[in-house]
């Protein structure tokens, strides 16, 4: 067939709605459909067409590749690009004479159910910023070589790439987790007592689907974990907050709420080990009282133990589930912070009838899980790599905690006060009334430090005088630089001065003068509340938690 000389039929325009590569692909497609371009016709080379149109070659390449993916062009590496033959072109849209769709529509042609929850605050992004938004591990410390080796071994296993035979998760990983939970957390469990999930959030979703009916009450900690709240709300639950203080969840208030609701409460969601977001540990007296109340009122306790391994000072308390002979606790954990968030490995420990119901619900959407990942993580446990990595990360993150707390105490004295957390990957701080918290967060972001304000975890979403800093993913040098930037942002985030003493702020340099006091020791506290009570009150050091009326 003779090769026709084809010229581009339209003029390109800069448009926010239609990118240049799509304008090119649409013009070529129209010429194919009106037979101006016929099968086996040769299109100009990408360099030539890009030169003729005054665009980058990559723009033309993207247009050609889009049409090739739709079956309208054939691209021959190192040779020419031609219009696809009749059979191939007909196969792309043989059922209709309508023009082929060149992109996915922005909006659907049908209605959706109204959203059940408000969208949670999104983590901000900024190129080059020091990210202290979440309590997440440092991705630079993930043992990628060990994980890669384990995956290669798993892929060679007989069932590594086959359909899963174990609906609860591969027995190799469940056996390893059973040994770990028994040895380190006091849970008397076997492999059949454990179900593997794609992270803790899936475990929360499955438990919610098994338990919650529209109108049921779920009691949640305030401040607390909004992603879990959204899951409960999406199921039609009515959320009721319970206060958190320096001893953890207030069990006296919990008792009152359970009596007030008179049988409407279906579940309690709690993070007793390192409470989210405050990192406070629920003390032993309240733990026993919580279990007594759960047994008395017949409610489920959803225990989310998301970072048990990272405890630095003293012996960690065992989970609630370890002292629950009555079967009221559904225990959920994750390996995301210990190994790598991208692995998405979580687990549930629960009574047999609960696991059966969770499996029934999960099977409706995921009948096999991720068997390759489960085998690989099981190998990491068997080889001892998980435990060695955990020890190394505990030492590293404890050092980072100490460096960050000491720097805050020295350079932000009078601006923030805090208790040095005994564990976890983040620091919860109280902000002086002299500082506008939301303005401080915004200015800090502009200077290259991202952190979480109280509104992200307060029950009503309201701002408050608190901030949460994830220190684990930052090196010591990055933490010191972050404190310097935070101090600079704080100097321009001041409210009008109230009566009484105020922190010594170097207005001209935008830096806080170093405190003469030594940095706090691990397990101690740093505070702007120095001196008599009136001065402390003027400095903004009341102990009110966000989303709560409780003062401690």
Model confidence band, residue 367 (pLDDT cutoffs 50, 70, 90)? confident
Distance CA 442, CA 408 (A): 19
Residues in CB range of 212: below 8 A, 6 or more apart: 218, 232, 235, 236, 237, 266, 267
Q: Are 500 and 533 in contact (CB under 8 A)?
A: no
- What is the per-residue pLDDT across 28-59, written as a single tens digit (0 to 9) for each? 988 888 888 888 889 998 899 999 898 999 99
Mean pLDDT to the nearest integer, 379-386: 95
Model confidence band, residue 89 (pLDDT cutoffs 50, 70, 90)? very low
> Between residues 368 and 542, which one has the greater pLDDT?
368
- What is the per-residue pLDDT across 260-278, written as a single tens digit (0 to 9) for each? 998 899 999 999 999 999 9
> Between residues 109 and 401, which one has the greater pLDDT?
401
Which of 84-98, 260-274, 398-412 shows the lowest per-residue confidence on average (mean pLDDT)? 84-98
- Domains of the chain plus CATH, in order, are 20-93 (1.10.10.10), 142-383 (3.40.640.10), 389-538 (3.90.1150.10)
Report whether pLDDT(324) > 70: yes
Mean pLDDT to the nearest integer, 149-153: 95
Q: Which two tokens stand for residue 400?
A: 């980072």
Report whether pLDDT(95) > 80: no
Task: Calculate what percentage of the chain has a pLDDT beyond 70.
Answer: 84
Which has the closest alpha carbon to 166: 344, 376, 363?
363
Distance CA 448, CA 383 (A): 40
Angle at 299 between CA 295 and CA 301, to 5 degrees: 95
Q: Is 244 helix (H, G, I), strand (E, B) or coil?
A: strand
Report whether pLDDT(511) > 80: no
Which of 70-79, 346-355, 416-425, 462-471 shows the lowest per-residue confidence on average (mean pLDDT)? 70-79
Calculate the average pLDDT of the chain: 85
Distance CA 271, CA 252 (A): 17
Which uninterrupted H or E stretch holds 358? helix 352-363
Structure confidence at residue 327 (pLDDT): 96
Model confidence band, residue 115 (pLDDT cutoffs 50, 70, 90)? confident
Model confidence band, residue 121 (pLDDT cutoffs 50, 70, 90)? low
Return the HEC string of 117-153: CCCCCCCCCCCCCEECCCCCCCHHHCCHHHHHHHHHH
Model confidence band, residue 437 (pLDDT cutoffs 50, 70, 90)? very high
Report whether pLDDT(20) > 60: yes
- What is the per-residue pLDDT across 166-196, written as a single tens digit (0 to 9) for each? 889 999 999 999 999 999 999 999 999 999 9
Residues in CB range of 252: below 8 A, 6 or more apart: none
CB atoms within 10 A of CB 368: 12
Mean pLDDT to the nearest integer, 143-155: 95
Task: Find tokens 């992270």 and name the residue.
Answer: 199
Model confidence band, residue 257 (pLDDT cutoffs 50, 70, 90)? very high
Distance CA 297, CA 258 (A): 7
Model confidence band, residue 539 (pLDDT cutoffs 50, 70, 90)? very low
Model confidence band, residue 122 (pLDDT cutoffs 50, 70, 90)? low
Name the region of 414 (left: φ>0; alpha: ψ -120 to 50; beta: rest). left
Model confidence band, residue 534 (pLDDT cutoffs 50, 70, 90)? very low
Distance CA 232, CA 221 (A): 13
Residues in CB range of 306: below 8 A, 6 or more apart: 200, 271, 274, 276, 333, 334, 336, 337
Task: Find tokens 């079967």 and name the residue.
Answer: 327
Report whether pLDDT(543) > 60: no
What is the sign, positive or negative, of the torsion defined by CA atoms of 497, 499, 502, 505? positive
Report whether pLDDT(550) > 60: no
Mean pLDDT to the nearest integer, 1-22: 73
Bridge partners, 244 (sequence order):
249
Report whether pLDDT(285) > 80: yes
């Amino acid at each position: 067939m003779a090769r026709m000389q084809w010229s581009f039929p339209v003029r390109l325009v800069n448009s926010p709605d239609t990118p240049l590569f799509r304008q090119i692909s649409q013009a070529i497609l129209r010429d194919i459909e009106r037979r101006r371009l016929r099968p086996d016709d040769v299109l100009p080379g990408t360099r030539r067409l890009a030169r003729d149109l005054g665009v980058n070659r990559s723009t033309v390449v993207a247009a050609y590749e889009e049409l090739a993916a739709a079956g309208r062009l054939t691209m021959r590496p190192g040779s020419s690009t031609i219009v696809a033959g009749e059979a191939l072109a007909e196969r792309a849209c043989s059922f209709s004479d309508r023009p082929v769709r060149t992109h996915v529509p922005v909006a659907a042609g049908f209605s959706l159910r109204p959203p059940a929850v408000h969208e949670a605050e999104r983590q901000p992004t900024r190129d080059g910023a020091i990210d202290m938004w979440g309590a997440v591990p440092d991705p630079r410390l993930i043992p990628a070589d060990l994980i890669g080796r384990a995956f290669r071994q798993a892929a060679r296993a007989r069932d590594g790439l086959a359909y899963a035979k174990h609906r609860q998760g591969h027995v190799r990983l469940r056996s390893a987790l059973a040994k770990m939970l028994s040895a380190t957390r006091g849970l008397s469990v076997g492999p059949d007592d454990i179900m593997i999930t794609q992270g803790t959030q899936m475990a929360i979703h499955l438990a919610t689907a098994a338990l919650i009916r529209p109108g049921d009450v779920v009691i949640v900690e305030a401040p607390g974990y909004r992603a879990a709240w959204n899951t409960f709300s999406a199921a039609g639950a009515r959320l009721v907050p319970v206060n958190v203080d320096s001893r953890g969840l207030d069990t006296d208030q919990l008792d009152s709420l359970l009596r007030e609701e008179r049988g409407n409460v279906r579940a309690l969601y709690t993070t007793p080990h390192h409470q989210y977001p405050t990192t406070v540990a629920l003390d032993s007296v309240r733990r026993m009282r919580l279990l007594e109340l759960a047994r008395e009122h017949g409610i489920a306790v959803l225990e989310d133990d998301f970072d048990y391994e990272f405890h630095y000072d003293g012996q960690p308390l065992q989970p609630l589930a370890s002292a629950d002979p009555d079967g009221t606790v559904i225990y959920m954990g994750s390996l995301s912070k210990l190994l790598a968030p991208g692995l998405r490995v979580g687990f549930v420990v629960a009574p047999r009838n609960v696991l059966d119901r969770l499996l029934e619900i999960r099977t409706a959407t995921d009948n096999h899980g991720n068997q390759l990942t489960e085998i690989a993580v099981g190998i990491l446990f068997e080889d001892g790599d998980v435990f060695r990595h955990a020890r190394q990360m505990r030492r590293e993150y404890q050092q980072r905690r100490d460096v960050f707390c000491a720097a805050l105490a020295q350079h932000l004295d009078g601006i923030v006060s805090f208790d040095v957390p005994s564990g976890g990957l983040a620091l919860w701080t109280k902000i002086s009334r002299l500082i506008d918290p939301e303005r401080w967060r915004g200015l800090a972001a502009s200077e290259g430090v991202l952190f979480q304000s109280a509104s992200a975890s307060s029950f009503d979403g309201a701002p408050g005088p608190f901030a949460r800093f994830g220190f684990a993913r930052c090196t010591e040098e990055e933490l010191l630089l972050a404190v310097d930037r935070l101090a600079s942002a704080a100097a321009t985030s001041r409210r009008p001065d109230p009566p009484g003493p105020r922190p010594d702020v170097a207005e001209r340099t935008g830096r806080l003068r170093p405190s003469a006091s030594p940095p706090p020791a691990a397990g101690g506290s740093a505070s702007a509340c120095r001196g008599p009570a009136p001065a402390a009150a003027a400095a903004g050091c009341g102990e009110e938690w966000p989303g709560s009326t409780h003062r401690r």
